[in-house]
Amino acid sequence: MDSAHLASSLHVVSVFAVDGRGGNPATIGLDAERLSTADLQDIARRAGHECGFVLPPPAGSASQIALRFFVPKHEMEMCGHATIGALWLLHSLGRWPVDGDRVEIATLSGAVTGRITGAGTPQVRIAISQPRGQISALPDPAGDARRIAEALGIAPSELATTPIVNASTSRVKTLVPLRSADAVHALRPDFARIEALCADIGSTGLYPYAAVDLERRTFEARQFPKASGYPEDAATGIAASALAFGLLEHGLVTASEAPISIFQGRAMGQLSRIEVTFLPAAAGCWITGDVVEAT
């Protein structure tokens, strides 16, 4: 692809913003079928954050578009905020891919549904679906908890009594409950330890969290990925959806359709708000949040 076309096809958005600020940046590449896998990986390496690339759907697929996702070090099966950002961008450019409010998206993790509300208005919102979360115990719960506390730079006493578990809707995240939001903000992670630990416990990242207001279903969290090429995420939709099902598993929320608000990125100065809403009978969930053009 020539450099002029490449420049015009790349856009940077910030997803899960709060009051027009913060959020997690994603570079979105349109018409990416003209790029090789090496090109896509190089764009992500240069961007230094997650990238999502819009492609035609596979032959015979029921999907209307396909998305591929890259971080600086590798390709990912799914990226929640890049999916929301890509759909928001397509709508803002007048390229919403279907005549309707729902679009089917092919990803390496499987089909994802996108939903738009408020189309054509300043209140436009994009939501994406995730399947019901799967929860599993750690290989060595007591020993792994000690290692996780060490990797996060905290005393074991800062861990809450809720079990640490692996949870997944698209990728496995390790949900680490802490006693307070202050403890979440004060973490001193050892990133080399986190990478080795995640490899041992079958996780793609640690997701420490704490309840802020259980009645209002509000939580604070941080995400430390295993090996993405950057140390921390300002917002992680896939981890937030996994957290929602972990909270449900442990009785901290009910299966009502009231939104769960997860704030992330505060310690990075990039405050983000992710909203997760269960489908009926918690058969899956929707992830949504505000999107703005990155400045």
Amino acid in position 175: L
| List of residues 6+ apart from 109 with CB closer than 8 A | 77, 78, 170, 171
- Torsion of the alpha carbons at 10, 15, 17 and 23, rounded to the nearest 10: -80
Query: What CATH code is assigned to 134-288?
Result: 3.10.310.10
Tell the CATH topology of 3-129: Diaminopimelate Epimerase; Chain A, domain 1 (3.10.310)
pTM over 0.85: yes
Task: Report the mean per-residue pLDDT for the chain.
Answer: 95
Q: For residue 111, what are the CA distances in angstroms to 62, 78, 174?
A: 9, 10, 24
Read off the pLDDT band of 122 (50, 70, 90): confident
User: Does 134-288 match 3-129 at the fold level?
Assistant: yes
Helices (H), strands (E): how many in the chain?
7, 17
Average pLDDT value for residue range 112-126: 94
- Does 3 have pLDDT greater than 60? no
- Tell me how far apart the 2 most distant CA atoms of the chain are, in Å: 56
Tokens at 115, concatenated: 């939903």
Rg (CA), the chain: 18
- CA gap 213, 252 in Å, rounded: 11
C-alpha to C-alpha distance for 213 and 219, rounded to whole angstroms = 7
β-bridge mates for residue 24, sequence order: 15
More confident residue, 15 or 121: 15
What integer is the mean pLDDT of 197-218?
A: 97
pLDDT at 6 (0 to 100):
61
Q: What is the mean pLDDT of residues 255-278?
A: 97
The string of pLDDT tens digits covering residues 144-186 is 999 999 999 999 999 999 999 999 999 999 999 999 999 999 9
The residue written with tokens 């921390």 in the block is 232
- Residue boundaries of the structural domains of the chain: 3-129, 134-288
pLDDT digits (tens, 9 = 90+) for 63-98: 999 999 999 999 999 999 999 999 999 999 999 999
Q: Does position 7 have pLDDT exceeding 70, yes or no?
A: no
At 54 the pLDDT is 97
